[in-house]
Amino acid sequence: MTQTEQAQPAVDLLLESLDTFTRGHGLDVTLESDIEFPSVYVNFVGEDENFFQKNHGEALRDLSFLMMTLVEKHFPDLELEIKVDSGGFIAAKEAELRGMAESAAARARDTGNQVLLNPLNPYERRLVHMALQDYEDVETESLGEGHLKRIAVRVVEGEPSEA
């Protein structure tokens, strides 16, 4: 039995829970899912998909967390990464953040100066750090206190440039 097949009962619980939630609230959406163990991507598609996109997709992040918690409770030995999206909103935001990170790295290389990004929440900062982690000639650092922090992107001294 493959890992994906072993994860199927957890995925079924996830999809049933999300379907019950959307139907219970009268939302006109269908669920599309993509499973590439250990990642599970669920996308709401339909007339009401924008319902979840308010407040910069905060409800989607909250639903992802809630579904992870539910799956962990019922399947404690199964480690899944669950991402709930709506109309590709989160996927587009992640692509935008990766592009912003790569642009900041290019500016830091071109100018030799540190580039400061606007304040980001923890999830967004993680994406920026991950987008640049394989670049040996740049480093990132979160700056500030509290929930929203800036990221400094700077060139590492003495390292060859890789792009």
Look up the CATH superfamily of 3-87.
K homology (KH) domain (3.30.300.20)
Q: What is the pLDDT of residue 101?
A: 97
pLDDT of residue 83: 93
CA 92 – CA 146 distance, rounded (Å): 26
Q: Examine the pLDDT at 163 and tell me if it is beyond 70.
A: no
Which residues are within 8 A (CB) of 89 and not within 5 positions of it... i.e. 6 or more apart? 49, 52, 53, 57, 60
Question: What residues pair up with 153 in beta bridges, in sequence order?
Answer: 115, 140
Which pLDDT score, from 0 to 100, does residue 4 have? 78
- pLDDT score recorded for residue 158: 67
158 against 82, higher pLDDT: 82
Burial 68-97 (b: 16+ CB within 10 A, else e): bebbeeebeebebebbbbbbebbeebbeeb
Q: Where in the chain is the domain with CATH 3.30.300.20?
A: 3-87
Given this model, what pLDDT does residue 36 score?
Answer: 87
Q: What is the CATH number of domain 92-155?
A: 3.30.1370.50
What pTM did the predictor assign?
0.77
Where are the CATH 3.30.1370.50 domain residues in the chain?
Answer: 92-155
